[in-house]
């Protein structure tokens, strides 16, 4: 009993001393003096103005607590406001402090507002607060005796917080160089008990939650995070299901993303997630996208590697303008990333309509991005998945053309080529794009320094094949194309490529052209380079030269020394057959010049020269046709009367409305001159036999 009495006396004295100490602390507490001292120190050391509007309130039992009201902190120099809060309260239990345990009963912050600014020189407006404003002298090293003499700075610190609540906060990020601003408002953060031990390197959090709304540019977003429980320890870490939801809304588009992590466990060396599930629900205009992806996750913390070995999911895309209305892609594959080496590899497979698609991606470096890929596709009909042109757009285009106004064009911008470095290979078994039908496409691709090179580029097309290269350059919106087409059927190629029915035949085409411009029209007008054509067993569509030459006899025979030129429009059913046709072109400023046209057939010879204005979509060409054989074939006996005569034919007009005009004026004058010579020769008996032959045929004498 005596011992208990002594123990009671000791505890009573201890409590009395603690109570006396707390009473003294409360009595000596001078809130105004502390506010003034804090304001002075902050201004002297950081050149920032600290303003605490309300009183500092102190509570001492059963916890030491400080409550303050309105507070503001300025930017350096005391000008613009950097940080503000409406009120804050912190309460710390007294007794655990005696054993170096920080047991916080409650942390409350209300109405916090802060603005983070990245200046044009790359520095942040909080550099002086985080120690980035200048170098500080390194602290002097302590001797072993000093360390052993009661230095407890390295002793483990234990933190126990009963609850945290941050309400109605707002954070703003502003980049002065890019002039971009992101605002996070209505931010509410809360948690249950939070425990940490620096010695054991453990952390435990209960009921962690975060909710925020924000705005970046013209888009608004929402974030919601919920973690029921999280335990982190060197030996074993675990967590209950983590739920993260993000919503984004902008002009005509919406996105909802949900991330769920379940079965989280691991230790200081490794982490495993039983299932990572990502769901996306997006809408842009009339397009609706739904996607799901899930996989187990394995991470080696020491090696800094992450692996998603069994990726599985699907993508659903719907748009009423698409011919099939809805498209569904199943996904399967794997993903591995090595954060230490800044590398990653993705293998992904899917089934796209009637085609199997296999994609392999390799990232050699994250920043700047260095990406390699290998893409293999069985069959792809791009036209099948593009929305058809709206009737109203066609009508508007026709009206604009009728008024003689240039149609509005979308601008071409190759700036997206700048930045990343990409190399890869593309193979497609069968491809249809913009009506062009290709097969066995094989391309090697390299993107670097804003320039895209596709070389070599080979494929089969229209009963033949082609090989060559292609490049696009963001500097000046440049492009270049080199291709050698061999054994190609030219008529279906022209129909699908340009919707033109001008030429038939099969043979070779060589192209070596470059251009630059911010629209298709500008590219056509700036086109330069060379081209050549060699065809066999074909026809020129729209005119029957044999019939035209047959008509010449009647026209010249009915005129007396004079003939008028007659223009005829191209006719769909007319054509001039040939056994061989060759031509070469020199192209400058969108105009192709030809001087060596040579066309042969059993009955005709055709030569010519002129300009093809690719930029303007027009032609001005003079062809010279000579009938060399007429026993059968085009023209028959009627054409015998103009056999050996060369007739010039002017081809002019826009590509879709070409006109053919035999130039008979000079020819008639020549024939009249020849007739006079014949008559003079008849008088003298020295007539030209060739002139006689021509006149017999032309004038029926």
pLDDT digits (tens, 9 = 90+) for 355-400: 899 999 999 888 778 899 999 999 988 887 776 654 445 555 555 5
Q: Which pLDDT score, from 0 to 100, does residue 391 have?
A: 43
- Contacts of residue 336, Cβ cutoff 8 Å, sequence gap at least 6: 305, 306, 307, 308, 344, 345
Average pLDDT over residues 450-473: 94
Closest CA to 191 of 169, 206, 180: 206
Is residue 507 within 8 Å of residue 542, measured between CB atoms?
A: no
Mean pLDDT taken over the chain: 79
Exposed e or buried b for every residue in 108-145, given b needs 16+ CB within 10 A?
ebebbbbbebbeeeeeebbebbeeeeeeeeeeeeeeee
CA–CA distances in Å: residue 421 to residues 338, 374, 424, 473, 474: 19, 15, 10, 13, 14
Is pLDDT larger for residue 543 or for residue 455? 455
Would you say residue 512 has pLDDT above 90?
yes
pLDDT band at residue 333 under the 50/70/90 scheme: very high
Lowest mean per-residue pLDDT among 75-89, 516-530, 586-600? 75-89
Would you say residue 340 has pLDDT above 50?
yes
Would you say residue 97 has pLDDT above 70?
no
pLDDT band at residue 571 under the 50/70/90 scheme: low
Q: Which pLDDT score, from 0 to 100, does residue 691 have?
A: 47
Lowest mean per-residue pLDDT among 187-196, 271-280, 382-391, 458-467? 382-391
pLDDT band at residue 8 under the 50/70/90 scheme: very low
Torsion of CA 564, 567, 568, 574, to 10 degrees: 80
Closest CA to 650 of 640, 658, 638: 658
Q: Which pLDDT score, from 0 to 100, does residue 420 have?
A: 78
Q: Which pLDDT score, from 0 to 100, does residue 636 have?
A: 46
Would you say residue 280 has pLDDT above 90?
yes
Lowest mean per-residue pLDDT among 501-510, 536-545, 591-600? 536-545
Lowest mean per-residue pLDDT among 103-117, 138-152, 328-342, 351-365? 138-152
Is pLDDT larger for residue 322 or for residue 238? 238
Q: Which pLDDT score, from 0 to 100, does residue 563 have?
A: 46
Is residue 505 within 8 Å of residue 535, measured between CB atoms?
A: yes
Is pLDDT larger for residue 656 or for residue 584? 584
Q: Which pLDDT score, from 0 to 100, does residue 382 have?
A: 84
Q: Which pLDDT score, from 0 to 100, does residue 149 have?
A: 44
Q: Which pLDDT score, from 0 to 100, does residue 390 have?
A: 47
Average pLDDT over residues 426-451: 92
Pairing outcome for strands 164-175 and 180-191 = antiparallel
Would you say residue 145 has pLDDT above 60?
no
**DSSP-assigned beta bridge partners for residue 197:** 158, 202
Distance CA 531, CA 516 (A): 18
- Condensed to tens digits (0 to 9), the pLDDT of residues 602-636 reads 778 889 999 999 888 899 999 888 877 654 444 44
Is pLDDT larger for residue 547 or for residue 257? 257
Beta strands in 559-658 (DSSP E): 568-569, 575-588, 591-600, 604-613, 618-627, 646-654
pTM: 0.65
Q: Which pLDDT score, from 0 to 100, does residue 670 have?
A: 55
Average pLDDT over residues 12-26: 46
3-state percent helix, strand, coil for the chain, nearest multiple of 5: 20, 50, 30
The share of the chain scoring above pLDDT 90, in percent, equals: 27
Would you say residue 583 has pLDDT above 90?
yes
Would you say residue 440 has pLDDT above 80?
yes
Q: Which pLDDT score, from 0 to 100, does residue 369 have?
A: 80
Is pLDDT larger for residue 466 or for residue 646? 466
- Condensed to tens digits (0 to 9), the pLDDT of residues 417-431 reads 887 789 999 999 999
Would you say residue 407 has pLDDT above 70?
no
pLDDT band at residue 551 under the 50/70/90 scheme: low
Distance CA 650, CA 492 (A): 26
Would you say residue 557 has pLDDT above 70?
no
- Contacts of residue 435, Cβ cutoff 8 Å, sequence gap at least 6: 383, 496, 497
Is residue 110 within 8 Å of residue 86, measured between CB atoms?
A: yes
Would you say residue 260 has pLDDT above 90?
yes
Q: Which pLDDT score, from 0 to 100, does residue 638 have?
A: 47
545-558 and 665-684 helices, crossing angle to 10°: 60
- Contacts of residue 37, Cβ cutoff 8 Å, sequence gap at least 6: none
Token pair of 527 as six digits:
């086109």
Would you say residue 498 has pLDDT above 90?
no
């Amino acid at each position: 009993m005596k011992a208990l009495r002594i123990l009671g006396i000791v505890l009573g004295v201890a409590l009395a001393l603690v109570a006396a100490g707390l009473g003294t602390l409360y009595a000596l507490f001078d809130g105004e003096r502390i506010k003034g001292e804090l304001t002075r120190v902050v201004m002297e050391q950081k050149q920032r103005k600290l303003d605490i509007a309300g009183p500092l309130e102190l509570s001492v039992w059963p916890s030491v607590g400080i409550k303050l009201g309105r507070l503001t902190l300025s930017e350096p120099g005391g000008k613009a406001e950097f940080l503000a809060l409406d009120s804050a309260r912190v309460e710390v239990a007294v007794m655990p402090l005696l054993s170096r345990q920080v047991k916080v009963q409650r942390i409350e912050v209300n109405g916090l507002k802060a603005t983070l600014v990245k200046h044009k020189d790359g520095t942040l407006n909080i550099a002086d607060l985080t120690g980035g404003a200048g170098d500080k002298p390194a602290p002097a090293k302590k001797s072993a005796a000093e360390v052993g003499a009661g230095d407890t700075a390295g002793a483990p610190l234990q933190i126990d917080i009963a609850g945290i609540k941050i309400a109605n906060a707002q954070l703003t990020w502003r980049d002065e160089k890019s002039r971009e601003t992101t605002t996070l408002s209505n931010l509410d953060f809360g948690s249950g008990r939070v425990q940490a031990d620096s010695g054991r390197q453990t952390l435990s959090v209960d009921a962690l939650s975060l909710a925020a709304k924000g705005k970046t540019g013209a888009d608004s977003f929402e974030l919601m995070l919920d973690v029921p429980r999280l335990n982190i320890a060197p030996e074993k870490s675990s967590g209950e299901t983590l739920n993260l939801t993000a919503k984004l809304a902008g002009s005509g588009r919406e996105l909802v993303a949900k991330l769920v992590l379940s079965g989280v466990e691991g230790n200081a060396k490794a982490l495993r997630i039983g299932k990572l599930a990502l769901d996306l629900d997006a809408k842009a205009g009339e397009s609706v996208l739904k996607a799901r992806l899930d996989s187990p996750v394995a991470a080696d913390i020491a090696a800094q590697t992450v692996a998603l070995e069994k990726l599985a999911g699907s993508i659903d895309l719907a748009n009423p303008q698409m011919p099939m209305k809805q498209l569904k892609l199943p996904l399967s594959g794997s993903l591995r990333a090595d954060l230490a080496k800044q590398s990653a590899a993705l293998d992904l497979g899917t089934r796209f309509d009637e085609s199997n698609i296999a994609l392999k991606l390799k990232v050699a470096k994250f920043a700047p991005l260095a990406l390699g890929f290998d893409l293999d596709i069985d069959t792809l009909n791009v036209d099948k998945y593009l929305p058809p042109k709206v009737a109203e757009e066609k009508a508007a285009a026709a009206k604009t053309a009728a008024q003689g106004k240039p149609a509005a064009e979308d601008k071409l911008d190759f700036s997206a080529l700048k930045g990343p470095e990409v190399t890869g290979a593309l193979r497609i078994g069968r491809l249809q794009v913009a009506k062009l039908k290709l097969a066995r496409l094989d391309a090697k691709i390299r993107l670097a320094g804003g320039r895209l090179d596709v070389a070599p580029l080979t494929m089969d097309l229209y009963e033949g094949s082609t090989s060559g290269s292609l490049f696009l350059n963001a500097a000046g919106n440049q492009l270049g194309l080199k291709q050698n087409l061999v054994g190609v059927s030219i008529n279906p190629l022209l129909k699908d490529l340009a919707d033109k029915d001008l030429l038939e035949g099969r043979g070779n085409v060589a192209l070596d052209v470059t251009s630059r411009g911010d629209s298709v029209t500008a590219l056509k007008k700036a086109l330069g380079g060379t081209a050549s054509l060699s065809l066999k067993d074909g026809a020129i569509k729209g005119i029957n030269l044999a019939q035209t030459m047959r008509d010449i006899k009647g026209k010249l025979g009915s005129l007396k020394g004079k003939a008028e030129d007659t223009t005829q429009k191209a006719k769909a059913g007319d054509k001039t057959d040939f056994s061989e046709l060759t031509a070469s072109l020199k192209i400058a400023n969108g105009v192709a010049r030809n001087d060596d046209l040579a066309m042969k057939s059993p009955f005709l010879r055709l030569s010519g020269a002129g300009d093809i204005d690719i930029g303007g979509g027009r032609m001005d060409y003079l062809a010279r046709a000579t009938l060399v054989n007429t026993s059968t074939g085009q023209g028959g006996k009627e054409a015998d009367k103009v056999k050996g005569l060369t007739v010039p034919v002017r081809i002019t007009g826009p590509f879709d409305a070409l006109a053919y005009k035999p130039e008979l004026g000079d020819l008639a004058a020549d024939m009249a001159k020849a007739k006079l010579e014949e008559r003079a020769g008849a008088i003298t008996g020295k007539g030209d036999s060739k002139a006689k032959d021509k006149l017999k045929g032309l004038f029926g004498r």
